[in-house]
Amino acid sequence: MSSPVAFISYCWSSPKHEQWVMELATELVNNGIEVRLDKWDLREGQDAHAYMESMVTDPKVTKVLVICDKKYADKADKRAGGVGTESQIMSAEIYNKTEQTKFVAIVPEVDENGEPYLPRFFTSRVYILMTEALYGSNFEQLLRWLYDKPLYVKPAIGKMPTFLKEDQPIDPTRSRAKRAAENASTEALVQPSLSASSLDSYLGTLVSALKDFYIDPSSPDFPQATLDSIEDFLPYRNEFIEVLITAAPRAGSETARSLQRFFEQIIPFMSRPESITHYRTWDWDNFKFIIHELFLYTIGILLKYERFDVANELIELRFFIQSSERRDDEAMQPYSIIWSPLEALRPKEVELRRISLRADLLEQRSHTSGIPFAQLMVADFILFLRATTFTGNYDHWYPETLLYSTIRFRPPFELFARSESKRFFSKLAPVIGVKDKAELEQLAQTYSLDGAKGRWLPRWQYNALNVSGLANLDKLETRP
């Protein structure tokens, strides 16, 4: 099919808002949408009003995205400036044309009551919320609208539910996971934070949904089946991120305990079930990727909202693991049990000539998460450093996302840049597992390429991990 052509109408509310629009447009282009945007298409000397009218009325433009923030709604209702001109053209198109699937309102912000800012001519129409908490999951909704691929398609009429005949409850399904996440987001509009019961309820449905992701070991192309399973999980991952963003700002010990119990329940998916005797070690690699990704986002989101106490508590907690694959007699294992190499993806990695297919997947999948990839990398970096405090079989964490810190990232990480303040670093240091700058410097000096100083320094081809640079060691604690 041909690429959809979409025009983006927005207001120059602020440089930050313009940047948000530019990033949204870029993500749409990366997902196959031909985007028409004034900053890209309109040149000096051209008639801005003529351009706007052509974009709204041109039959080649199949979709029009109206970015509705407060300033846009105000200008549209007052018919002020370019926004007013566009709104007059669009309202005529909307009211006079029988085909009304061409226009949609994108809402990046809401008022103090959680209501969207919409121009009057849009108030009775469906809109897509793209606030920070909902960006990841609703970006998929936007893509589906642009491609005319709705998530919900009316199914064929089925048979009478079995539970009506046998008086048995229906097991949780995947749809319950999405519904729980939506309910949690609704609660967040009227409550300052997500309740522990709502979080536990959602996480429980996600555990049930994960059971559907086992791959048939006899699949003719098992590496591709693994990639397909990881891709199929993406909507669930986005829901998880949405719920975590809702819970994080006022998270406490209860949140850490809920997440501990959740990961305790899903870590066993990474290894052989007791009922299976014939297997290959890579049969569950899709779960190894999925669970590792969920944990990275968990720590990354807690760090984003500076919930250092909760992140530290979750990192310090151990997970009760009953598995025949456990490599020692310790039932309580540290978080580092979650990282495991992916053997199933190795053939694809060689075929595609990638240094780390896992790192590439994590980077690509972050584009629709609403969380910058740098946030995943700093979580990975801290988990890598913190694992040095462990002993036994799980005393390491390989920071695969940090491959990208060696090729297109300028250190330091934001958290460590802010740690030039002693006060700030005193809050972050416990998450890393150190008391102060001196201890972090000592730790950094134990890494070397040959392991001679005590620890191996991760390396990707000719590029090694820059621990000192990423941690901003030279400038740590240089201000109060």
Residue 206 in contact with residue 236, Cβ under 8 Å? yes
Lowest mean pLDDT among 72-86, 411-425, 452-466: 72-86
pLDDT of residue 266: 94
Residue 472 inside a domain? The answer is no
237, 107: one domain: no
226, 81: one domain: no
136, 47: one domain: yes
Q: How far is CA 249 from CA 166, 262, 328, in A?
A: 45, 19, 37
pLDDT of residue 195: 65
Is 80 exceeded by the pLDDT of residue 7?
Answer: yes
pLDDT of residue 308: 96
Residue 35 inside a domain? The answer is yes
Residue 465 inside a domain? The answer is no
pLDDT of residue 390: 74
113, 255: one domain: no
| Domain final residue, candidates 131, 146, 161 | 146
Residue 245 in contact with residue 262, Cβ under 8 Å? no
Put residue 227 in one of left, alpha, beta given phi > 0 → left and psi -120 to 50 → alpha.
alpha
| Domain final residue, candidates 409, 439, 468 | 409
Residues with Cβ within 8 Å of 128's Cβ and at least 6 positions away in sequence, in order, are 104, 105, 106, 107, 138, 141, 142, 145
Which domain CATH number covers 35? 3.40.50.10140
> How many C-beta neighbours within 10 Å does residue 361 have?
19
Omega cis (within 30) before 150: no
pLDDT digits (tens, 9 = 90+) for 198-210: 788 889 989 988 9
pLDDT digits (tens, 9 = 90+) for 392-445: 665 689 999 999 998 878 889 999 999 999 999 999 999 999 999 999 999 999
279, 332: one domain: yes
Residue 189 inside a domain? The answer is yes
Lowest mean pLDDT among 78-87, 151-160, 172-181, 275-284: 172-181
Is 70 exceeded by the pLDDT of residue 69?
Answer: yes
pLDDT digits (tens, 9 = 90+) for 341-396: 999 999 988 888 888 999 999 999 999 888 999 999 999 999 999 998 776 665 68
pLDDT of residue 88: 66
Residue 166 inside a domain? The answer is no
Instruction: Identify which has the larger pLDDT, 112 or 307.
Output: 307
Q: How many domains does the chain have?
A: 2
pLDDT of residue 170: 41
pLDDT digits (tens, 9 = 90+) for 162-171: 434 554 444 3
pLDDT of residue 97: 56
Q: What average pLDDT score do residues 270-284 get?
A: 82
Is 60 exceeded by the pLDDT of residue 248?
Answer: yes
231, 356: one domain: yes
Is 90 exceeded by the pLDDT of residue 261?
Answer: yes
91, 180: one domain: no
117, 181: one domain: no
Q: Which two tokens stand for residue 171?
A: 């097991």
pLDDT of residue 224: 92
Instruction: Identify which has the larger pLDDT, 309 or 2.
Output: 309
334, 267: one domain: yes
| Domain final residue, candidates 384, 409, 434 | 409
130, 228: one domain: no
Is 60 exceeded by the pLDDT of residue 328?
Answer: no
Residue 452 inside a domain? The answer is no
228, 191: one domain: yes
Residue 161 inside a domain? The answer is no
Q: What average pLDDT score do residues 185-205 get?
A: 67
Is 90 exceeded by the pLDDT of residue 189?
Answer: no
pLDDT of residue 240: 92
Residue 196 inside a domain? The answer is yes
63, 201: one domain: no
Is 90 exceeded by the pLDDT of residue 184?
Answer: no
Binning pLDDT at 50, 70 and 90, where does residue 172 land? very low
Instruction: Print the domain residue range for 44.
Output: 5-146
